Each structure stands twice: as C-alpha cells, then as structure tokens.
Amino acid sequence: MKKTFSLSMAWLHTWLGLYLGWLLFAVFLTGTMAVFEHSITHWMQPEALVKPAHAEVILARQLDIAQAYLEQHANREKGSNWMIAPISDNHPSLEVRWRVKGEAHEVLLNPLNGEVVSTRETEGGAMLTHFHYTLLAGLTGTLIVGMAAVVMLVGLISGIVIHKRFFKDFFTFRRRSSAQRSWLDAHNVAGVLILPFLFMITYTGLVMQPNTFLPLGIKAVYENPRALRGDAVQSFEQPYQAETAKMIKVSSLLPQAQAAIQSVGWLMIQNGGDAGAVVEFFQNLDRRISAVADHAAFSAVTGRMLGVQTEWRDSAYVYRGFVGIHMAMFGGWVMSWLYFLAGLVSCGLIATGLILFTIKRRKRPEHEFGAMSTRIYSLIEAINITAVMGSINAILIYFWANRVLPMEIPERSSWEVRAFLLTWLVSLLHALLRKPLYAWREQLVFAVLLCWLLPLCARLNGLPSLLEFWRHGDGIAFGVEATILLMGLLLATAIPKVSKAIHGVPSKRTAGSHKVAY
C-alpha cells in the first residue's frame, strides 16, 4: 500500500506540477516583483525624479498643495472620492487621485512648488501586481490563478511525501553530482528551506479572496456581499447636500488626526466642495501585520470630528491578517527584501521542477505519450523555456518598452502591456525552432543583455539612469535599476553552465558515459 501511495503522489506531483508549473512560474515571478510595486512604478516614471528635498517638505504643506490642486481640477459631484497620498517610506511622491465616471485620474505634484509633474503614461508596477492575481483576464484569470494555487498546495504536500529524506537531506546540495542529482537537490533544498513561506503565501493567496473563491458562504449571510465590509469598517459618511461650501484646509486637522491614529498614511475627501464634504485620515499600513488602517473622519467644512475607528472586530483582524501577511506591508524595507528573496527562491523551485521533468526523460525516456512521445517531450521542453525565460524576458521587455516607446503615441500604456504579452509568443516560437539547450542559452543571453543595456538605453533616450539617480539622491529609482543589473548578473552565471552542457563536458559521476543534459 505504501509503495503505491508514494508512487501515486509522485505521479500527482509530476503531472500537476508540470502543467500548472508553467503558469505558477509567471504568477510567482510577478508576485515577487509586486513586493516593490510602488518602487517599480516610480522607476517607470523617470520624469518624476525625487530629490531628498522633496521628502523634507512637511506633511501639512503637502496636504495644502494637494487640496488646492484637487479643488481646482477634480470633479465635484455626488459620491466623488478624492484621494491624497503624501510622500512616505513606501510612496515616493505626492500623488492625488479621483474618478470621473469610473475613469481614474492620477496626478503627481511637485511638493516644493505645487506644479504638476507630467510623466509618461504607464501602468507601472501595478500592471505586474494585476497580472499576478488576474493574468489580466479579470475574474476568469483570478479563478485560474486560484486553481493554480490549489495545485501548488497539492504540489507542496505531495512533494513532502515523495521527498522522504526531508531532514536527512536538509542541507544537501550536491552541485557537482550528475545533472539530475544536482537539479533534484536544488529543487528539494529550495522547497524545504522556505516551506513556511511557500505554505503561507499560497494559502493566504487563496483565502484573501473569499468573494471570488467561496462566494456562496457570504451570500448566504449577506444580501449584498459589500455589506460584509461595512460590518468591519465603520463609515462616517455624511449625506450629499447639493450645495457648494468652502472647505477648510484639511492640514489644520492634522494634529487632531495624528493624536487619534498616530501616523497618517493617506487621506480621502468624499463629496469634495459640497456642504456635506468629509475628510478621512487613514493610518499607514506598516504598523502591524493585519492590513487594517485606523481612520479618523472630520467634516471638511466645519472641521468637526465625525468619528475615529481604532478598534476592530477580531474577525477583521484575522481576515485582514491573511491579506497583510500576503502583501507584506509591515516590517519596512527589510521585510520587503525578505519577501523578494523568498519569492525568487520560489521561482527557482518551480523552474528546477520544470527542468527536472525534461532532464529525467532526456536521460531515460518513459514513452508516456506512446509513439508521439519524442515530439511531445520536445514540445514540453519548448513550453518550459517559454514559461521560465519567456516570463523573465516579458518583464524586461515591459521595462524596455517603458523606456523606448515614444511619449506621444496614443494608448501608450497599453502598448507597454502588449509588448509584455507578445514576448511570450516570440519566446515560444524561438523555443520551438531551436534545439532546447540552444534555446535556453540564447534566451538567457537575451535576458542578460536586456538587463545590462537598460541604463545605456535610457541614456540614449535622454532619460536619467543609474548615475543620475545616484547623483540626485533618488534612492528608490537607483535601487530598482541596480537590482535589475544584479538580476542580469545572476542570469549570466547560468550561461556558462548551459554552454558546458551543450559541449558535453562530463560531470564527475557520469564521466564518459554520455552527453550530460545541462
């Protein structure tokens, strides 16, 4: 019985892992990037270079500038929502947002003089986050990602079952051993050592969206599922009065707001310019794991305090805890980097798993598809290359499109996304045309060039790059670009290994027996 059980677990792990691994790699890679979503967005708007002097502008002054701009430009109508996001640790510039008939308007303001910073049109890092949980395909995409997450959990558990030497091989990585051995060791070590992260991130990714994955439970209790939110978040709204009124400076409420909620992360102004206007101050989300923001509301006309919420239901803490620990907005930059590293290791786990599938079969074909086996194996190998290198290159091409596309073309930001998506197609065509190892090497070289030539490309387009970011003291943009260069270095270390495999340099164990894969 035991033998058949672990054999069936191995079967499950192999096939589910292969088919969903293709998708999971892209999901984990974009999720890893999502940790630095705001930094990436900032880097993708090089016109909005921030200087240390910007961060020193006091909060009250930033609010005055933002409010003055909104009162002049934002729409005044029933149900309008203006947002002010001042400069903070995880938000590098002063930003205001509002909506007109569902269409979002976002404007960056210079905190020194209040002028609009006109930037290139881009969806920035938000696109990667969006892809991470919707594949840019709305609800259907979310359901597919959810299914992949379930398979990931199955993969983790079946992986533990078939691993067997969980503790004995805890630190074992025999990189000089045969190809299959060393890839398997890498796969096992990556999986075992960040297992807590893998379970946490996959499980919370599922449960943080109950409206999508388990809608009926909520519908059984609430007529309107949105009422669930209303049960947790206190509302201090005021009715729309349909009569214009002069608003006070919201910055004058700052001392009161800070006394009530300690730190101010962002502000919302509802029904701006109306007699029933309300301004609400929200706390930064970095104070605890649970992603709940204490908030204080005032009348924006009289300045009277309407209410404060600093206490939350236990259920809200628990549910928003799942959200918070998935999104990692707590713990500052160190935690962001820990999540980023763990994300990279997860990508490595998935990639090594995919590679193992083909290495095993290249050595000892299992003829799982009958007469078609050889053909299907090479198709699988091409898709593996697309899933791994295609995803990496897609993100890099997205960055390049951001730097290269002319400023004035209509729908500029959608062209960036198109370039991102088309890369996968090109990658697949290339992988189908070339022999597997050559395809791996060429796409690796391409990725490394994309990483390393990016600053040069920016310079040729008259945009700031690494040196200028450093000179202006824009640490965030500098960090993003430096990280891209480092990723290039990481990818470059793989190139000689693939070359060695192509030229058939035998490894120690299998010396002389046959050409070693990879």
Partner 1 sequence: MNDISVVLTCLLAYGLAYAGMASFSLGMEKHYVQARVSDLTASRKKLFKATGWSFLILAVLPAIYGWGLTIGIVFWTGFVSLAAISVVLVLSYFPKRLIWLGGGVAGIALSVLLLAML
| Residue 291 sits in the site that holds partner 1 (CB under 8 A) | no
Complex with partner 1: residue 342 or 417, whichever CB lies closer: 342
The end-to-end CA distance of the chain, in Å, is 36
Q: Is 194 in the site for partner 1 (CB under 8 A)?
A: yes
Is 210 or 331 the residue whose CB approaches partner 1 more closely?
331
Q: Segment near partner 1 (CB under 8 A), from 234-242, 341-349, 361-369, 416-424? A: 341-349
Segment interacting with partner 1 (CB under 8 A) among 110-118, 265-273, 336-344, 496-504: 336-344
Task: Quote the least distance from Cβ 185 to partner 1, whole Å.
Answer: 9
Residues 130-169, interacting with partner 1 (CB under 8 A): 168
Choices 25-33, 134-142, 308-316, 335-343; region in contact with partner 1 by CB under 8 A: 335-343
Q: How far is CA 328 from CA 59, 225, 454, in A?
A: 25, 26, 28
Smallest separation (angstroms) from partner 1 to the CB of 121:
34
User: Toward partner 1, which CB reaches closer, 3 or 171?
Assistant: 171
Name which of 183 and 398 has its Cβ closer to partner 1.
Answer: 183
φ and ψ at residue 451, rounded to 5 degrees: -65, -50
Which one of 150, 245, 248, 335 is in contact with partner 1 (CB under 8 A)?
A: 335
Of residues 204 and 423, the one with the C-beta less far from partner 1: 204
Q: Which of 52, 239, 255, 332 binds partner 1 (CB under 8 A)?
A: 332
**Binding of partner 1 by 497 (CB under 8 A):** no
Residue 494 found at the interface with partner 1 (CB under 8 A) = no
CB neighbourhood size of 384 (10 A): 25
Under rule CB under 8 A, residue 325 binds partner 1: yes
Q: What order do you get walking across the sheet with 266-270 strand by strand?
A: 116-117, 103-109, 94-100, 81-85, 266-270, 278-282, 295-299, 305-309
The verdict on 437 binding partner 1 (CB under 8 A) reads no
The reply on whether position 226 binds partner 1 by CB under 8 A is no
- Residue of the chain from 342, 395, 396, 517 that contacts partner 1 (CB under 8 A): 342
Determine how many CB atoms are found less than 10 A away from the CB of residue 137: 12
Q: Closest CB to partner 1 among 138 and 196?
A: 196
Comparison of 220 and 334: residue with beta carbon closer to partner 1: 334
Q: Which residues contact 53 (CB under 8 A, 6 or more apart)?
A: 112
* Shortest reach from residue 403's CB to partner 1, in Å: 30
Token couple for 111: 């905190």
Name which of 176, 4, 160 is nearest 152 in CA terms: 160
Of 362, 382, 380, nearest in space to 515 by CA:
362
Options 14-22, 173-181, 209-217, 262-270: segment touching partner 1 (CB under 8 A): 173-181
> If binding is defined by CB under 8 A, does position 193 make contact with partner 1?
yes
Residue 30, C-beta contacts closer than 8 angstroms, at least 6 positions apart = 128, 129, 131, 132, 391, 395
Q: How far is the CB of 285 from partner 1 (least distance, A)?
A: 12
- Among residues 197, 199, 222, 470, the one that binds partner 1 under rule CB under 8 A: 197
Determine, following the binding rule CB under 8 A, whether residue 475 of this chain makes contact with partner 1: no
Q: Is 330 in the site for partner 1 (CB under 8 A)?
A: yes
**Candidate ranges 153-161, 340-348, 445-453, 482-490; the one touching partner 1 (CB under 8 A):** 340-348
Which amino acid does the sequence have at 418? R
Question: What whole-number distance in Å separates Cα of residue 268 and Cα of residue 261?
Answer: 15
What's the Cα-to-Cα distance from 429 to each of 376, 422, 433, 499, rounded to whole Å?
15, 11, 6, 21
Strands (E) across 165-265 are located at: none
Q: Minimum CB separation from partner 1 for residue 193, in Å?
A: 5
Q: Which is nearer to partner 1, 7 or 318 (CB)?
A: 318
Cα 493 to chain center, whole Å?
Answer: 25
Report CA-CA distances (Å) from 242 to 68, 77, 245, 304. Answer: 21, 8, 9, 19
316 touching partner 1, by CB under 8 A: no
Does 447 engage in binding with partner 1 (CB under 8 A)? no
Whichever of 379 and 492 has its CB closer to partner 1, that residue is 492
497 class by beta-carbon count within 10 Å (0-12 exposed, 13-18 middle, 19+ buried):
middle
DSSP states of 127-174: HHHHHHHHTTSHHHHHHHHHHHHHHHHHHHHHHHHHH--TTTTTT---
Minimum CB–partner distance for residue 328 and partner 1 (Å): 9
Radius of gyration of the chain measured on its C-alpha atoms: 26
Handedness of CA 5, 154, 330, 39 (dihedral sign): positive
Per CB under 8 A, the list member of 1, 171, 311, 508 interacting with partner 1 is 171
CA distance 347 to 125: 19
Query: How many residues contact partner 1, by CB under 8 A?
Result: 25
- Asked if residue 248 binds partner 1 (CB under 8 A), the reply is no
Q: What is the largest CA-CA distance in the chain?
A: 88
By CB under 8 A, name the binding residues for partner 1.
Answer: 168, 170-175, 189, 193-194, 196-197, 288-289, 325, 330-332, 334-335, 338-339, 341-342, 345
